[in-house]
Structure 1
C-alpha cells in the first residue's frame, strides 16, 4: 500500500463477487435489503409449499447477526392466520434435523414387513 493510505489489507482487492473486501459487507446469500434496520442478514425465504391447502404456511431462511463473529443460522417460520411462530436452529442442528426428517419420511413410506413397519 502507498504510504499514508489508511485502510486494511484486502480493501483494494476485487473479489469474484465483484465487490471490495468489507467487514460490514453482506454474505453472498443475503437478500441485501435493509440489513441495518433488521439488525441481521437474511436470505430470501424459501416457502414450504405443497401446492395443496395446508393449515400452516411454512418458510425457511438463513439468518446471521451483524456482529462479525456471528455464525449463520436457519430460521423456520410457521404462520396460521394472524399467528406466527419462529424457531432458529444452528447449522449443525439443521443438518441433524435434515437427516431425522429423511428417516421419518422414509418410515412413512414403509410397508408391512412380516407384520412390522420398517
Structure 2
C-alpha cells in the first residue's frame, strides 16, 4: 500500500493537469521502459514523473539523459529526431545556427575547432 500511495503522490505532483496525465499514460503504454532506461525519449512529463518518483524513494527509476551530452537533468527541448536535450545543448545549437546562418539538425558532442564563418574570406572568426 505504501508503494501505491507513493506512486499516486508522484503522479499528482508531476502530472498536474489532465492533459499531462494523458501524455504520460500514452507514453508509458507505448514504452514502459521509459521509467528505467534513461533514454531521452517521450514527452517532458516522463522526466518530471521520474524525478518525483526518485524523490519519493524509488530505486529503479532512472532520469532521462540528454541525447547530446548524456547528462541527466531536465530535458526541456527536442532535437529534430524527437530526442530530448538539456538547455545548455539547446543553447549551443541556437548559437551555432546563428553563426552559420543555417538551421542545425544534428551536431556532434564536440564544439567546432574553428568558426564556420572562416570559410568565407573577410568574414572574421570567433
TM-score, L = length of structure 2: 0.33
Q: Which structure has more RCO (C-alpha within 8 Å, separation ≥ 6)?
A: 2
Larger radius of gyration: 1
Q: TM-score, normalised by structure 1?
A: 0.35
Larger helix proportion, structure 1 or 2?
2
